Structure 1
Amino acid sequence: MGDKPSMKLQLWRQTWPMAMGVLALLGFQLVDSAFIARLGTLPLAAQSFTFPLTFLMIGVQVGMGIAIAALISRAYGQGEHQRAERLGALVVLLGGGVMALLSLALWVFHVPIFRALGADTVALSYIYAYWWPQLIASWLGAVLYFIYSIFRAHGDTRLPGKMMVVSSLLNAVLDPLFIFGVGDFDGWGLPGAAWATCVAFTLGLLITARRLYQRRWLSWQGIGAEAATSWRPFMGIAGPAMISQLMPPLAAVLAISVVAGLGETQVAAWGLASRLETLSLMVILALTMSLPPWLGRCYGANDWTQIHALMRLALRVAIFWQLGLGVVMALASPLVAALLAGTQDVREELGLLIRFLLPSYAGLGVCMLVVSAGNALGWPLRAMLLSGARLFVFYLPCLWLGTELFGWTGLAAGAALGNLLAGAFAAYWLKRILSRPQRRAG
């Protein structure tokens, strides 16, 4: 594997393309929120109420995408090219069907769901106009993600990366046109953001589907028999992955229920902070994608010395990067809040969140990397439990207790404390596991 400098260089080479893809994927979401913030507090709060359900859909599609890539890669590794082509067709068909049914259910039951989250009648009127085009956009994004997973399973990551950038740029261009209008066109307001995403994803879907057809990576012959034989291994991979992916949306639902009790201004600020969180964790998210394959190869070679070195390097990167970014963002919080929020009251509440939360993402980043490493090193159950502990033992209890004691300031401080405690616990857990060879697997 080489010495330490070469390890750093290799980690950089594997991570930066992923970081660019994550930046493109998450950037357009923040752009959406920034433009919507110019419409006022109520539209921004309405969009914020939809985030947990949007994250729910993303969790399901990511879990299925992990299974897609794994099964197709294994089939090709075993020389079963025709089976890989059948699997590709199967997952696009069934994955699209599952996401369509989920979208339909979330539309049919959206009123009781959003009322349970704390939305009042005025917020529901905004949500009604925004939610159905947003569900269409989410379905298009899910099918596009499944196609990306097929490309990645065949070793092609360049086209998905390029299309994420193209889609994000198109969305950024269309957002102000669709939201605010141009010339005689007055714009659609809040729903315009969803329609801009629909157009961007549709273009990406048309281009990638055409390339997929040209590659001849799909086969519809024998797809019924393939479904009968492959559903068990598919769910064996997708099930645990979905559970891990669905825990953050559940935590987001509970968190926004607490925030909703403080007012619409706080909901709007929380929604912007949630967008900023994912963008600020860009490097960590990239590491969670680039590090596991490397760790997996070391695990297969039983090279635990290299695993220790890799994890030490990755955790140092996470801590120093997130702390440095967090301090800079905290110092610049008035400027950042002014750029993202449209009204003064939302800016003030958002600035408080930035000052508390951004530095605490050093702890969150450590926990995310340890969970990702656990999946790569043969500890999927422990990784899932650690992910659950981060959310339901540290983060949510601290957030709730802080809110009960000190209101909005307590919520920000409690959420930050929960992130730091989760990171400390994850680091302790990793050190204890790696120090005991008999516990390294299983």
Structure 2
Amino acid sequence: MSRLGPALWRQTWPMTIGVLALLGFQLVDSAFVARLGTAPLAAQSFTFPLTFLIIGVQVGLGIAIAALISRALGAGEIERTRRLGSLVLMVGGAIIALLASMLWWAQSPIFSRLGADAATRELIRHYWAPQLLAAWLGALLYFVYSLFRAHGDTRLPGKMMVITSLVNLLLDPLLIFGFGPWQGLGLPGAAWATAIAFASGLLLITKRLLQNDWLACSGLRRELAVSTRPFVGIAGPAMISQLMPPLAAMLAVSVVASLGESSVAAWGLASRLETLALVVVLAMTMSLPPWLGRCYGAGDWTQIRQLVRLALRLVVGWQLALGIILALFSPWAAELLAGSPDVRDDLAVLIRFLLPSYSALGVCMLVVSAGNALGWPLRAMLMSMARLFLCYLPFLWLGASLAGLPGLAIGAALGNVLAGVVAWQLMRRMLARSEACSRYESKLLSRERT
């Protein structure tokens, strides 16, 4: 166990820095938009669930990439990893492009159902096309990062996340507010800054990817026929698991919309702050599964159990400390991010109650990620479903109905805590059962040999 801690840290810290930079610029992006007024910030907030929908699909595909390639590496199937890498970039890019096209054509009925009025939908219409382009470019970049992570390289993706974040951060004020006589693009400028940043990242990392010889040009059709079933077996439940949060986010936004425009704007900022606060968890869900996949391929359940327990301890300790600190400083944090007093007050309430509960949410996220890597995609999917639709949304809706925005924040926090407890109990049982089965199989093999 003493050796696993530094090893886990070496795998996780590059991704932590990269994800921190990536999510940090997204929060700053929303802070810049907040300076345009409550209406543009509310318009951007309405698009978050659909952006998370695209991210959910790409993360589901990325989980399958990392699982299959890391298992193939553990089994010594080097040529197969190259074919899988090429297939993922082509098929994944096509899937995200199709999804983005569908979201563009269906934008009016979707945003109407979410509660956006005509003026807000007009603001969204100018923002949505460059935002979808940015989402597609970001998905391609994420797939490339997944290849690097599956091969054990977390440093370059971490560096590239920092670089793209810096490019975005530099372009944001220029494209949103303009410079000199140029007035800027307003809300669409935020999306164009992200698209340019992701495009520059793709140009920089593609050369390194080709140098590493991780792709193949031949045998792709045969590999597609062989790997489609195991890929869908992992990606399908993983994608459903990742798509449920955007669906829950849409339902949550519709509840928040009933509380007013300032509440929607505050909820959007809180959503960006949530992803930033969970940066260590998100980095660990990227760095841990390939390691678990290699241990799974080698049948080393002892190390798997030690890794999972260590990761969960780190997540709970870090998130609880961070959540308490941010809750204590919630008025100042809200003042820094919000553009109007109404949004500031609502955001302070959300920070105060939600942030400490992310320690339990982090446990649930890590359990779902580990479950996908260890061959339990269906259980991981069911855990995600239970977290959102049995714990989070019912408590959120009940709290909003009883006490408005403060009740909504308290209800969401209670739902996170309940989900974390359930996820921990589920992981304990799955690990104990798998380790017992592994020991039993080892005894049978040893008897057959003697």
Q: TM-score, normalised by structure 2?
A: 0.90
Question: Quick check: 2:73–2:294 contact (8 Å CA) kept in 1?
Answer: no
Q: Does 2:97 match 1:100? A: yes
Return the offset for 1:109. 0.6
Question: How far apart are the structure 2 equivalents of 1:402 and 1:204?
Answer: 42
Identify which of 136, 160, 168 aligns with 1:171.
168
Question: Quick check: 2:316–2:363 contact (8 Å CA) kept in 1?
Answer: yes
Return the offset for 1:143. 1.3
Q: Does 2:168 match 1:180? A: no
Shift in CA distance, 111/224, structure 1 to aligned 2, threshold 3 Å? same
Shift in CA distance, 437/225, structure 1 to aligned 2, threshold 3 Å? closer
Q: Does 2:81 match 1:91? A: no
Question: How far apart are the structure 2 equivalents of 1:54 and 1:60?
Answer: 10
Measured on the aligned residues, the alpha-carbon RMSD in Å equals: 2.4
Question: Quick check: 1:434–1:440 contact (8 Å CA) kept in 2?
Answer: no
Return the offset for 1:224. 4.0
Q: How does 1:318-397 map to 2 (within 5 A)?
A: 318-397=315-394
> What per-residue deviation string (whole Å, max 9, x for no partner) do you get for residues 385-428 of structure 1?
11211111110000000111111111011001111111122233
Q: How does 1:116-265 map to 2 (within 5 A)?
A: 116-265=113-262
Shift in CA distance, 92/403, structure 1 to aligned 2, threshold 3 Å? same
Identify which of 272, 281, 298 aligns with 2:269.
272
User: 1:416 maps to what in 2?
Assistant: 413
Question: Quick check: 2:266–2:343 contact (8 Å CA) kept in 1?
Answer: yes
Return the offset for 1:80. 5.5
User: 1:317 maps to what in 2?
Assistant: 314
Shift in CA distance, 435/162, structure 1 to aligned 2, threshold 3 Å? closer
Shift in CA distance, 288/152, structure 1 to aligned 2, threshold 3 Å? closer
Q: Does 2:34 match 1:37? A: yes
User: 2:65 maps to what in 1?
Assistant: 68
> What per-residue deviation string (whole Å, max 9, x for no partner) do you get for residues 64-92 of structure 1?
22223344445566666555444333322
Question: Quick check: 1:433–1:440 contact (8 Å CA) kept in 2?
Answer: no
2:259 partner SS: coil
Question: How far apart are the structure 2 equivalents of 1:71 and 1:296?
Answer: 8
Identify which of 9, 13, 18 aligns with 1:12.
9
Return the offset for 1:437. 6.4
Return the offset for 1:162. 1.5
Question: How far apart are the structure 2 equivalents of 1:163 and 1:438?
Answer: 38
Question: How far apart are the structure 2 equivalents of 1:174 and 1:334?
Answer: 29
Shift in CA distance, 42/210, structure 1 to aligned 2, threshold 3 Å? same
Is 430-439 or 374-383 further displaced after alignment? 430-439
> What per-residue deviation string (whole Å, max 9, x for no partner) do you get for residues 91-134 of structure 1?
22222222111111100010001101111001101100100100
Question: How far apart are the structure 1 equivalents of 2:218 and 2:371?
Answer: 38
Question: Quick check: 2:302–2:435 contact (8 Å CA) kept in 1?
Answer: no
Unaligned runs of 5+ in 2: 439-450
User: 1:425 maps to what in 2?
Assistant: 422
For 2:339, give the aligned amino acid. G
Shift in CA distance, 15/84, structure 1 to aligned 2, threshold 3 Å? closer
Return the offset for 1:334. 1.1
Unaligned runs of 5+ in 1: none
1:132 partner SS: helix
Question: How far apart are the structure 2 equivalents of 1:223 and 1:213?
Answer: 17
Return the offset for 1:313. 3.4
Question: Quick check: 2:301–2:434 contact (8 Å CA) kept in 1?
Answer: no
Is 138-147 or 264-273 further displaced after alignment? 138-147
Question: How far apart are the structure 2 equivalents of 1:421 and 1:325?
Answer: 19
Question: How far apart are the structure 2 equivalents of 1:111 and 1:230?
Answer: 38
Shift in CA distance, 87/420, structure 1 to aligned 2, threshold 3 Å? closer
Q: TM-score, normalised by structure 1?
A: 0.91
Question: How far apart are the structure 1 equivalents of 2:221 and 2:307?
Answer: 43
Is 217-226 or 101-110 further displaced after alignment? 217-226
Return the offset for 1:304. 5.7
Question: Quick check: 1:433–1:439 contact (8 Å CA) kept in 2?
Answer: no
Shift in CA distance, 326/81, structure 1 to aligned 2, threshold 3 Å? closer
**Number of equivalent positions:** 438
Return the offset for 1:158. 2.8
